[in-house]
Structure 1
Amino acid sequence: MDLKQLEYIIHIAEENNITKASEKLFITQSALNQQLLKLEKELGTQLFVRSRNNWHLTQAGKIYVENAKNILRIKKDTYNQINDILETREGNLVIGLTPERGTQMFAAIYPTFYKKFPKVKIDLIEMPVKKQQVEILQGNIDIGFLTLQDFQKTNDNYIHLCFESIILGVPSAHPLAQVGGKLGEPLPEISLKLLENDSFAVMQTGSTLREIFNHLINEENISPHILLETRSCHTLFEMVAQGICCSVFPITYAKPSSAVSYFSIRQNPVWEVTASYKKDSYLSNAAKELIAMATDYWLDRVQVCS
């Protein structure tokens, strides 16, 4: 079996276009098409329904691509296991990171990782949690670093790194600010029911933090005004610090500030910082070491903010 041929078909399927696939593979479209036609002749069926701008898989094509990915995953797992036995400290890791915090974490731990595993090549993919989960399921990401609650987990594997509190921030001019607390001290508890007439900055729909916020307000049976939707937790904090509105965000994004008062929320929401990888896949020694470094990083961050 030609493993390179498997990669060719997977790329065409991912791009839904043979021209774009050939560009990514750095081969001519003609050469790629010849490989496809050769395979389809061997199988006795077409793998793609062709159109000018959009190719899509036939039923046979779906079966082929699914199993092609499994074969390549088995190959990678096999090589990783052998590399670990031989202690070569070589290989390749595809790492999923969430925007902002994920890249900050990786930049902090990579220099130490590189000293221990200089021959391990790392490819970084920055994307939201839900997209990472799809890529992990498909075997396109070896490790995804995610923040989520149990109800947001898939059937893949999750390694606990730490828990992080989700807190409420209100501007100093807010009527409740005088009974709020400061970082580093036990925060007074509050029900979001008391803020049902306030405006909030929240994460965009579809994000894990937005789902958590929605759960909280649904439990209180309130519908506060959503002033701003953003993709940045830093923006959530800044909106509160500038006195514009209230917000709910992870404690690691909070900063000591006279412009913000903090509360713990009645339901005591926390989310879990995790490392996730495809179910039944092999976790190499390099991957385990990277996860251990990430655990130390997050534990230090959460302890400083608590």
Structure 2
Amino acid sequence: MDLKQLEYMIKIAEENNITKASEKLFITQSALNQQLLKLEKELGTQLFVRSRNNWHLTQAGKIYVESAKNMLRIKKDTYNQIHDIIEIKEGHLVIGLTPERGIEMFAAIYPIFYKKYPKVKIDLVELPVKKQQVEILQGNIDIGFLTLQEFQKTNDKYIHLCNENIILGVPYTHPLAHLGGRFGDPLPEISLKLLENDSFAVMQKGSTLRDIFNHLIIEENVSPHILLETRSCHTLFEMVAQGICCAVFPITYAKPDSAVSYFSINQHPVWEVAASYKKDSYLSHAAKYLISVATDYWLEKVR
């Protein structure tokens, strides 16, 4: 079986368009179409329903593409195992990162990884947690670095890196600010019930942090005013530091010498920083090393 042919069919399915697929594969559309027609003739059935702008898989096509992905995963796992046995420090890793802090982490740890594995090619994919989990399940991401809670875990594998406290920040001008703590000090507890009339900046719907915030306010039976929704925890912190509103955010975003008073929330919410990979897939030595370096990074951040 021609493994290139498997890659070609998967790419057409991903792009839903043979023209776009040929561009991504760096081959001509004519050559790619010939490969498809040859395969369909061999199988005795069409793999795609063709239309001008949207190709989609037939039932036979779905079976073929799913099997093709499995075969390519088996090939990759086999090569990784053999390379590890004979200590060839080469390969290819697709790494999933959460937007914003994921790339910050990678920029910090990659120089360490590169010194040991300079010939391992890495592709970075920035996606929210739930979308990463879909890509991991489908075998498109080798390792995903995620922040999540226990109930959000799928049946894939998870390696614990650290736990991170979720805290409340209020501006210095807030009436309760004098009861709060400074960065690095033990933080006094507070109930969000006391801030039910305040405005909050929150993460966008669907994010792990937004789910945590929603759970907290449901528990307290409060509905604070949502002033701003964002995709950035840095923005959450800055809204508090600028005296605009309150926010709930991970403790690693807190800064010293800022105009923010910090509280521990009485439910003591935390989320887990974890590395995830597909169940039953092989984790190469390079992948394990990258995870160990990431663990050191996060333990230093939350210390």
TM-score w.r.t. the length of structure 1 is 0.98
Q: Which amino acid aligns with 1:8?
A: Y
Report the equivalent of 1:283: 283
Matches for 1:13-32 after TM superposition, within 5 Å: 13-32=13-32
Q: Equivalents in 1 of 2:120, 2:266: separation in Å?
A: 45
Flag structure 2 segments of 5+ consecutive residues without an equivalent: none
Cα deviations by residue, 1:61-83 (Å, 9 ceiling, x for unpaired)? 11111111011000000000000
Matches within 5 A, 1:130-141: 130-141=130-141
How far has the Cα of 1:281 moved from its partner? 0.3
2:188 matched residue in structure 1:
188
**Aligned equivalent of 2:265:** 265
Whole-angstrom CA distance in 2 between matches of 1:17 and 1:180: 56
Equivalent position of 1:48 in the other structure:
48
SS at match of 1:168: strand
Deviations 1:180-201 (A, max 9, x none): 1112111011111111111100
Other-structure match for 2:167: 167
Amino acid in structure 2 at the alignment position of 1:105: M
Contact 1:172 1:258 in 2 (8 A): no
CA contact (8 A) 1:180 1:188 kept: yes
Q: Distance in 1 between matches of 2:147 and 2:173?
A: 31
**In the alignment, is the contact (CA less than 8 A) between 1:143 and 1:275 conserved in 2?**
yes
Q: CA deviation at 1:283?
A: 0.1
Supply the AA of the counterpart residue of 1:25. Answer: L
SS at match of 1:133: helix
SS of match in other structure, 1:257: coil
Q: Secondary structure at the match of 1:88?
A: coil
Q: Secondary structure at the match of 1:186?
A: coil
Contact 1:47 1:60 in 2 (8 A): yes
For residues 297 and 86 of structure 2, the distance between their equivalents in structure 1, rounded to whole angstroms, comes to: 29
Q: Which runs of 4+ in 1 moved over 6 A?
A: none
Counterpart code for 2:160: H
SS at match of 1:74: helix
Identity %: 86
Contact 1:92–1:121 (CA under 8 A) maintained in structure 2: yes
- Number of corresponding residues: 303
- SS of 1:213's partner is helix
Query: Which string of whole-angstrom CA distances, capped at 9 and with x for unpartnered residues, describes residues 234-275 of structure 1?
Result: 000000000000000000001113511100011100000000
- The equivalent residue for 1:157 is 157
Alignment-derived partner of residue 70 in structure 1: 70
1:194-217 CA distance string (max 9 Å, x none): 111111000111111111111111
Question: Is the 1:189–1:266 contact (alpha carbons within 8 Å) kept by the matching residues of 2?
Answer: yes
Q: Which amino acid aligns with 2:279?
A: K
Q: Give the structure 1 partner of residue 256 of structure 2.
A: 256
Taking the TM superposition and a 5 Å limit, the aligned residue runs for 1:31-110 are 31-110=31-110
1:247 correspondence with 2:247: yes
Q: d(CA) in 2 for partners of 1:227 and 1:258?
A: 21
Q: For the residues of structure 2 that align with 1:45 and 1:190, how far apart are their CA atoms?
A: 65
State the Cα RMSD in Å: 0.8
Using the alignment, how far apart are the partners of 1:176 and 1:160 within structure 2? 36
Q: Distance in 2 between matches of 1:65 and 1:182?
A: 55
Which residue in the other structure is 2:147 paired with? 147
Residue aligned with 1:268, SS: coil
Deviations 1:137-168 (A, max 9, x none): 11111001111101111111100000000000
Query: Letter of the aligned partner of 1:16 in structure 2?
Result: N
1:39-82, Cα deviation, whole Å (9 max, x unpaired):
11111111111111011111111111111101100000000000
Distance in structure 2 (CA, Å) of the matches to 1:152 and 1:171: 32
Determine the C-alpha separation between the residues in 2 that align with 1:290 and 1:37: 42
